[in-house]
């Protein structure tokens, strides 16, 4: 396993948050298979058996502990990788929150703080800390997962789910504002909705209809990231290429 910031030269690098399972694990697996350097982060590497197995089998994968709600931990990781260009910063970590705690009559505002801290502040916290790494890379891409429920065109279609919707609306405006500020550095910031994917987050949402497999959604999102162009800056894009106004 390579040391922090000491990956083989000549390969692009991706940093992924929330990589212990679901989409995050699939992103790590597929980027590694494509020959990328992969910094795969999660809150508890010791319990991330599948991710550890991937790192043991793929010499270009490093597993790092990271809680995206912990300011000091995010800064410390950025300092460890201070000299490492990051072509794609993929902020995938997110939670849906408990439905019963974000409905009229049963709202738990401590739950709101938790959901906001992970979904909105977590993505911004990580992007802020690793801006220089992204600016130093060849591809210069910051991609934040999800956001569709934060768009008025989607979030207003049905009731409830307040904290998830509100956190994703805040996430959209944070990433959109970030794009405005980093455009002159050649950085592309985009939000990509992975669709309804068979992960724990989807199960927490209460959805029981058709869903995408994590491996299929990850492959489509990776292809979308590869195809990002300047016109997509600050936009919300679906896994199949549709633009969602927000």
pLDDT computed for residue 1 by the predictor: 45
pLDDT, one tens digit per residue, over 208-218 is 778 789 899 99
- 198/170 Cα distance (integer angstroms): 24
Percentage of residues in the chain having pLDDT higher than 70: 93
- Output the pLDDT for position 148: 75
**Is 2 inside a domain boundary?**
no
Is the pLDDT at 107 greater than 80? The verdict is yes
pLDDT at residue 153 above 80? no
Residue 149 lies in a domain: yes
pLDDT score of 157: 65
* Res 169 pLDDT > 70: yes
Per-residue pLDDT at 105: 93
Residue 207: its pLDDT value, please?
62
Q: Which of 178, 161, 202 is nearest to 121 (CA)?
A: 178
- Residue 88, Cβ density class (10 Å: 0-12 exposed, 13-18 middle, ≥19 buried): buried
Higher local confidence (pLDDT), 190 or 160: 190
Q: How many CA atoms lie within 13 A of 25 on its CB side?
A: 16
Higher pLDDT: 14 or 200? It is 14
Is there a domain that residue 1 lies in?
no
Residue 87, SS3? Answer: coil
What phi-psi label fits residue 146: left (phi over 0), alpha (psi between -120 and 50 degrees) or beta? Answer: left
Does 155 map to a domain?
Answer: yes
Query: pLDDT digits over 44-96, tens only?
Result: 999 999 999 999 999 899 999 999 999 999 999 999 999 999 999 999 999 98
Domain count, the chain: 1
User: Considering the chain, what is the average pLDDT of its residues?
Assistant: 91
142 pLDDT above the threshold of 70 = yes
CATH number assigned to the domain comprising residue 129: 3.40.50.720
The alpha carbon of residue 166 and the mean position of all alpha carbons in its chain are separated, in whole angstroms, by 17
Q: Give the mean model confidence (pLDDT) for residues 35-50.
A: 96
Residue 243 domain flag = no
Beta strand ranges found along the chain (DSSP E): 13-16, 37-42, 61-65, 88-91, 141-145, 188-193, 236-238
19 is in which domain, residue-wise? 13-238
Is the model's pLDDT at 231 over the cut of 50? yes
Q: Please check whether residue 4 lies inside any domain of the structure.
A: no
Secondary structure in 3-state letters for 123-152:
HHHHHHHCHHHHHCCCCCEEEEECCHHHCH
pLDDT over threshold 80, residue 140: yes
In this structure, of 32-36, 40-44, 153-157, the range with the lowest mean pLDDT score is 153-157
- What integer pLDDT is reported at residue 44 of this predicted model? 96
Would you say residue 244 lies in a domain? Answer: no
CB-based contacts of 34, cutoff 8 Å, min separation 6: 222
Looking at the domain assignment, is residue 5 inside a domain?
A: no
pTM higher than 0.75, yes or no? Answer: yes
3-state secondary structure of 118: helix
């Amino acid at each position: 396993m390579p040391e922090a910031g000491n990956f083989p030269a000549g390969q692009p690098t991706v940093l992924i948050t929330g990589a212990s399972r679901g989409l995050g694990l699939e992103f790590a697996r597929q980027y590694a298979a494509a020959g990328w350097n992969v910094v795969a982060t999660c809150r508890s590497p010791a319990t991330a058996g599948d991710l550890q197995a991937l790192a043991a089998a793929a010499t270009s994968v490093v597993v790092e502990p990271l809680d995206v709600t912990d300011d000091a931990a995010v800064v410390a990781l950025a300092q460890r990788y201070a000299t490492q260009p990051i072509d794609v910063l993929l902020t995938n970590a997110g939670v849906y929150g408990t439905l019963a705690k974000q409905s009229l009559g049963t709202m738990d505002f401590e739950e709101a703080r938790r959901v906001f801290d992970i979904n909105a502040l977590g993505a911004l916290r990580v992007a802020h800390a690793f801006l220089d790494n992204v600016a130093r890379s060849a591809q210069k891409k910051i991609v934040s997962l999800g956001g569709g429920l934060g768009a008025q065109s989607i979030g207003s279609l049905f009731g409830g789910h307040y904290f998830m919707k509100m956190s994703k609306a805040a996430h959209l405006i944070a990433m959109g504002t970030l794009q405005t500020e980093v455009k002159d550095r050649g950085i592309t910031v985009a939000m990509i909705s992975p669709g309804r994917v068979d992960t724990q987050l989807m199960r927490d949402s209460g959805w029981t209809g058709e869903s995408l497999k994590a491996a299929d959604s990850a492959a489509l999102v990776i292809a979308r990231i590869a195809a990002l162009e300047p016109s997509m800056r600050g936009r919300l894009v679906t896994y199949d290429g549709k633009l969602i106004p927000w």
